[in-house]
Amino acid sequence: MSEKAPKRSDKSWWAKRKRRIEKRREVPRRLFLMQGAGMLVAGAGILLTRFRLSAWALEKFRQPIRPPTASLDDEVFRAACIGCGLCGTVCENGCIRYFGVDEAEWGSLTPHLDVRRRSCTLCMRCTEICPTNALTPVKRDLKIIGNEINMGLAVVDPDRCLSYLGRLCGFCHDACPMPGKAIKLVPPARPVVLADGCVGCGRCVEMCPSTPTAIDIFRGVRS
């Protein structure tokens, strides 16, 4: 039986009724807030997991880009390299740099390439002058180079690439010493790296107009 409402003058009865109604409303409101908080936590967890996986994947391959013919096993290369610096003296493009004495993690005085600054022109001079076989001689023949050199693999970031963002670019393709074999363009001018042909010279990275670069070289991705 429904409760008979008293006269409007009975303020205490109306106050109790108001509290009962608010209490009933509080339960679904609290449940809604708890569910919303749960969804936020779950969403944050998913994003955090994706970020960690993505960062791990990048860091797994984030090794120094070494000169042509250097072993993909960086410990093997560091054991063979004596840090003489001869490879840099003959480098056609002056792209070879050296780790400092405070950078022992990657081998003090060992050579590496900062391809965003200057890329390898595949002159192969460094392979001819190395006295310890840390680098082994290769003829300057693009067919031979394409078969024997593996400094890394170019990876395109579609979230930064102008061609993937609706603008026509193609700088990476035009800069590549082996266009069509190492990289191709698909309509409308979107770059696609061909893993079997890319040698990791970094010309595409150096010439990319995006900042930060929309394409980068990762060592050890292609064995």
Q: How many residues are there in the chain?
A: 223
Q: Note whether 68 and 27 are same-domain residues.
A: no
The two tokens of residue 178 are 């082996």
Q: Note whether 90 and 184 are same-domain residues.
A: yes
Q: Is the torsion defined by CA of 103, 205, 77, 90 positive or negative?
A: negative
Q: Note whether 180 and 126 are same-domain residues.
A: yes
Q: Note whether 27 and 69 are same-domain residues.
A: no
CA–CA dist 96, 118 (Å, integer): 8
Q: Note whether 95 and 154 are same-domain residues.
A: yes
Could you list the residue range(s) of the whole structural domain that residue 46 is in? 17-54
For each of the chain's 223 residues, which pLDDT tens digit applies?
A: 445 555 555 557 666 666 776 666 555 555 555 555 555 544 544 443 343 334 345 555 578 999 999 999 999 999 999 999 999 999 999 999 999 998 888 999 999 999 999 999 999 999 999 999 999 999 999 999 999 999 999 999 999 999 999 999 999 999 999 999 999 999 989 999 999 999 999 999 999 999 999 999 998 765 5
Number of domains in the chain: 2
Whole-angstrom CA distances from 206 to 60, 75, 170 are: 23, 27, 13
Residue 163: inside a domain: yes
Residue 5: inside a domain: no
Q: 128, 208 in Cβ contact below 8 A?
A: no
Residue 194: inside a domain: yes
Residue 128: inside a domain: yes
Q: Note whether 73 and 116 are same-domain residues.
A: yes
Q: Which residue's entry shows tokens 């093997």?
A: 76
Q: Which residues lie across from 112 on neighbouring strands?
A: 97
Residue 1: inside a domain: no
CA–CA dist 31, 13 (Å, integer): 28
The reported pTM is 0.70
Q: Note whether 74 and 159 are same-domain residues.
A: yes
CA–CA dist 97, 114 (Å, integer): 7
Q: Note whether 115 and 40 are same-domain residues.
A: no
